[in-house]
Structure 1
Amino acid sequence: MTGAVRLEPVDERNLEPLLSVAAAEAEPEDVMPPVQAPAGWSLARRDAFREFHRANLGGLDGPTRTAMYAIVSGGEVVGMIRMTRRDEPGTVETGMWLGRSARGRGLGAAALRQLLHTAAAAGMHTVVADTTPDNAGALSVLRKCGAELREEGGEVHARMCLDSALPIR
């Protein structure tokens, strides 16, 4: 079904399916921080992917102040969305990626809407995100979810206020 997703906290149960979709349908630099490793999805880069996600299992109150969620559609993991506490009280930053086959189907907007509800339930009042002016997919998702967009220095900064009405799931 187009646009139907479920968010599951990233854990050992869904980490390998998450890595599988990343390796099959995304570039390493699109789904994880840069690492010193051979190009592509080398064994070292796969290990770094696992380590990166395991380091963030503590949630918003953990050492990295990050909650990561596998995006599930049709019973399959199709990507990941996260929120990370910012220094500004009540504010989290979000980022997401989807495998190529999941793009353009409304899943990104559905995942962000669910994350906005999750952030509000955690007591947050603002969600921010950064992208580039040429990332049409991200800009579309942000607009669909009511983000205020501001371009500055070659980046687009998005801000979503959770104190007003949240987008419908």
Structure 2
Amino acid sequence: MAGAVRLEPVDERNLEPLLSVAAAEAEPEDVMPPVDAPAGWSLARRDAFREFHRASFAGLDGPTRTRMYAILTGGEVVGMVRMTRCDEPGTVETGMWLGRSARGQGLGAAALRELLNAAAAAGMHTVLARTTTDNAGALSVLRKCGAKLRNDDGKVRAEICLDSALPAV
């Protein structure tokens, strides 16, 4: 299944399917900023999820400087990957989540490769990511995509240079 991934900019058409996957297969704190609301996927959290994603509909040149993409495989939404413009010219930061049923199938690396292509097409030269030393899935995806990893007190900073060829799958 690895490689059978397509990215679509998050918009009103795919926002509800994205929310459905998040609510069924992820914890709120893994897919959106904290919200002062009852635990779990309360109505308030679902509304906050929608607003969080809608705020980035304008893309890299919009107020949030972020483009979010629904990750699709087999025509179904399985997660989200984003890129956010950094202050350093030609640099974006990325983050991603996948629903539990989509993990461990190579979809994360395939989605990140698609994002790297989108970042290069947008004129970017560097993609950064941050994770923790215990996030084995994220570290594996980043390594597969050629990231240079730097450990900094329990946190990992990853950097992918788009000016060179990406490693083969």
Q: Do Structure 1 and Structure 2 share a fold, with TM-score over 0.5?
A: yes
Task: Give 1:57's aligned residue.
Answer: 57
For residues 44 and 115 of structure 1, the distance between their equivalents in structure 2, rounded to whole angstroms, comes to 30
Task: Give 1:126's aligned residue.
Answer: 126
Q: Is the 8 A contact 1:126 1:159 kept in 2?
A: yes
- CA-based RMSD of the aligned residues comes to 0.9
For residues 90 and 63 of structure 1, the distance between their equivalents in structure 2, rounded to whole angstroms, comes to 17
Q: Counterpart of 2:49 in 1: which secondary structure? A: helix
Task: Give 1:80's aligned residue.
Answer: 80
Give me the identity figure in percent.
84
Task: Give 2:4's aligned residue.
Answer: 4
- Report Cα offsets for 1:105-131 as digits up to 9, x if no partner: 000000000000110010000000000
Counterpart of 2:162 in structure 1: which amino acid?
L
- Report Cα offsets for 1:77-125 as digits up to 9, x if no partner: 0000000000000000000000000000000000000000110010000
For residues 83 and 27 of structure 2, the distance between their equivalents in structure 1, rounded to whole angstroms, comes to 21
Q: Would you say 1:106 and 2:101 are equivalent positions? A: no
Counterpart of 1:105 in structure 2: which amino acid?
Q
Q: Which runs of 4+ in 1 moved over 3 A?
A: none
Please show how residues 1-169 of structure 1 align to structure 2 within 5 Å: 1-168=1-168
Counterpart of 2:54 in structure 1: which amino acid?
R
Q: Counterpart of 2:57 in 1: which secondary structure? A: coil
Q: Counterpart of 1:97 in 2: which secondary structure? A: strand
* TM-score, scaled to structure 1: 0.98
- Aligned residue pairs: how many? 169
1:167 positional shift:
4.1
Counterpart of 2:14 in structure 1: which amino acid?
N
1:168 positional shift:
4.8
For residues 142 and 132 of structure 2, the distance between their equivalents in structure 1, rounded to whole angstroms, comes to 12
Q: Counterpart of 2:105 in 1: which secondary structure? A: coil
Counterpart of 2:75 in structure 1: which amino acid?
G
1:154 positional shift:
1.5
For residues 28 and 122 of structure 1, the distance between their equivalents in structure 2, rounded to whole angstroms, comes to 30
1:2 positional shift:
3.6
Q: Is the 8 A contact 1:148 1:158 kept in 2?
A: yes
Gapped regions of structure 2 (runs ≥ 5): none
For residues 129 and 119 of structure 1, the distance between their equivalents in structure 2, rounded to whole angstroms, comes to 13
1:153 positional shift:
2.0
Counterpart of 1:95 in structure 2: which amino acid?
G
Q: Counterpart of 1:131 in 2: which secondary structure? A: strand
